[in-house]
Chains A and B, each alone.
Chain A
Amino acid sequence: MTSPQAPAVELAGVAKTYRSGTTAVRGLDLTVHEGEFFSLLGPSGCGKTTTLRLIAGFEEPTAGEVRLHGTRVTGVPAHRRDVNTVFQSYALFPHLSVFENVAFGLRRRRVPRGEIAARVGAMLETVELTGLERRRPRELSGGQQQRVALARALVNRPRALLLDEPLGALDLRLRQAMQVSLKRIQREVGLTFVYVTHDQGEALTMSDRIAVLNDGRIEQVGTPREVYERPATRFAASFVGTSNLLAGEVAEVAAGRAVVVHGADGRIEVPVRGAVARGRRLELAVRPEKISLGRARPGGGLCGVRGTVTEVVYLGTATNYNVTTSAGADVVVFRQNAASADEVAARGDEVWLSWEPDHSYALETAR
């Protein structure tokens, strides 16, 4: 067995400029560990598919190198790389039965016939397609096709499985069911997954680690919790979940915290790394569910900002309050509707927003 921290897929300074002149990927450095569920998360066109194609061997990087299990694979054609892909469009072979689709990779590798039958049968059982062996892809529903695509890749026992928005074409309910079974299969097989998605919810619930991509660059790599609780950049903060962005001048810096003045009387404490100059403008973010609403100015070392409620949106289990701060920033506050609680504020009310200093985080200024 390989150690859990052994690198399965490594990208070192990988860049890709297409012949058309489009630069899709600009210097990626990434390490995906053995057995890890690793997600590439980012908006459309940020280079996720390109990154996956570079790993699979359909494209060669214009700079940097790709390593699979420590071996440099530059120039190794796709068919000799020990990875398999689940394509966004599935790309099932229309002229072959489900069985033959799944057996395709094994036949190319000259696995003995008996073993092929056994492995394909077992794999179809895993993805719950037993009995459909003889069907053609076009005789299957979307969800069934998706599972054939998954089985066709998994049956080869690749050292890493590359998945390009594999659930993108499914409706919400099926998608949630497939998320659960994908995660289960991944855990059972103990396989390395490199999973491309633009759905932040999907990335947060399924991944061991996430790389947030924007415009061909990595904004942040971390566990779902790290990425959600401590977004490193403004982009990561706004792309993953909802973030309230606030800005102000640094009034003092002490013990790894900066005090930022927001508006006339707003005072926010925020943890900072390294030295921050006094008087500098600092941008920070707070999640909606971390903020409390109150009538009085908060004490006890809490951050406090004054504002006016502009909208109250009742959501059933919770209520969203839209507040404009005294400095003109728009903030959303998310509040669970507890058993006895009435609305704590109505439209037009003056309120104080408060939260723990550790729940606000400074954002790196734009590069």
Chain B
Amino acid sequence: MPFSRRLAPYLLVLPGGLWLAVFFVVPVAMMASLSLQTGNLIDGFRQTFHWQNYTDGLGTYGDTFVRSLWYGLLATILCIALAYPAAYWIAFRAGRRKSSYLLLLLIPYFVSFVLRTVAWKLVLTDNGPVLGPLRDHGIVPSDFHVLDTTTAVVAGLTYTYLPFMVLPVYVALERLDPRLIEAAHDLHADRTAAFARVVLPLSLPGVFAGVVMTFVPASADYVNAEILGGPRNTMIGNVIQAQYFDDGAYPVASALSFTLMAILLAGIFLYARALGTRGILDTPTP
């Protein structure tokens, strides 16, 4: 019996572990090796262990990295601003129809996100159904654009990753015992104080999860910049995609990917540290 007891955890981890090994560890290792190679598609690549791909990448695309992180940050902040009130309302005020409202909020995301983004493009294009009439009636100047602007890309990113913020925040708020809010009022907290001292701190773990789940993919996104943005809105995802698929510059693309990964990991780590591990990483049990 002790033998099988000791074996059980490993057996349980095995399928997931294998999956990760085959589809995550191996590709990442291959990419890491690729990022330290030199050469081109025609002559082939050689393992040189030169860091040049990294230094070149950062040198050439430094401002693109900054822009990507900036867009990711803006989208994350907008996601919090939109998701928190909605999740709050559903968790505390929607009563028995909670699930219906949540579903309603998520229904657009059943549509392929490329399709959704393309639809945005059609709606927001210069002579489209929104801007066309507005321009015709002189409500906006004739050189007013939405597409190809920072606003368009950030709005698209916000829209794409909104559910990843709504869901964890909703779960955190939904789990919150309403009697704690009553206790706060009983102890002379008005609505603002009850929110700031009880509801907000207890929902922060959800916000933290939401930030990680929106900021990371939003910063690495390339579809929104590709479809809604212009040449001045290029994100690092677009660069990696172009290097890889258009130029066949696999080592450079890999090096850029690893740089992005390192930056995001460092960012998340610092963020977790700044917020304090105690309140965030060990979720309070109600």
Contact = CB atoms under 8 A, between A and B. Distances in A.
Contacts of A87: 179, 182-183
A41 interface: no
Nearest to A162: B186
B183 A156 contact: no
Contacts of B201: 95
Query: Which of B177, B186, B188, B202 is packed against the most chain A CB atoms within 10 Å?
Result: B186
B198 interface: yes
Interface stretch (A77-85, A198-206, A268-276, A298-306): A77-85
Contact of A104 (B179, B182, B187, B284): B187
Contact of B202 (A56, A94, A153): A94
B265 to A, nearest CB: 27
A257 interface: no
Interface string A307-351: 000000000000000000000000000000000000000000000
A78 B179 contact: no
Contacts of A89: 177, 179
B189 interface: yes
Interface residues of B, number: 22
A84 B186 CA distance: 6
A56 B177 CA distance: 18
Interface string A74-116: 0001111000110101011111000000001100110000000
B46 interface: no
B190 A79 contact: yes
Nearest to B181: A91
Contact of A91 (B182, B188, B194, B284): B182
B112 interface: no
A79 B284 contact: no
A58 interface: yes
Give chain A's interface residue range (CB within 8 Å of chain B): 20 to 34
Interface string B196-219: 011001100000000000000000
A89 B35 CA distance: 58
Interface in A54-69: 56-58
A164 to B, nearest CB: 11
Contact of B185 (A78, A94, A138, A153): A78
A156 B187 contact: yes
B193 interface: yes
A209 interface: no
A87 B197 CA distance: 19
- 7 cross-chain pairs, A with B, having the tightest CB-CB distances, nearest first: A105-B187, A91-B183, A94-B284, A108-B188, A78-B185, A91-B179, A79-B185
Interface of B: 177, 179-180, 182-190, 193-194, 197-198, 201-202, 279, 284-286
23 contacts: A56-B186, A58-B186, A78-B182, A78-B185, A79-B185, A79-B186, A79-B190, A80-B188, A84-B186, A91-B183, A93-B183, A94-B284, A94-B286, A95-B279, A104-B187, A105-B187, A105-B188, A108-B187, A108-B188, A108-B189, A109-B188, A156-B187, A156-B188
Interface of A: 56-58, 77-80, 84-85, 87, 89, 91-95, 104-105, 108-109, 138, 152-153, 156
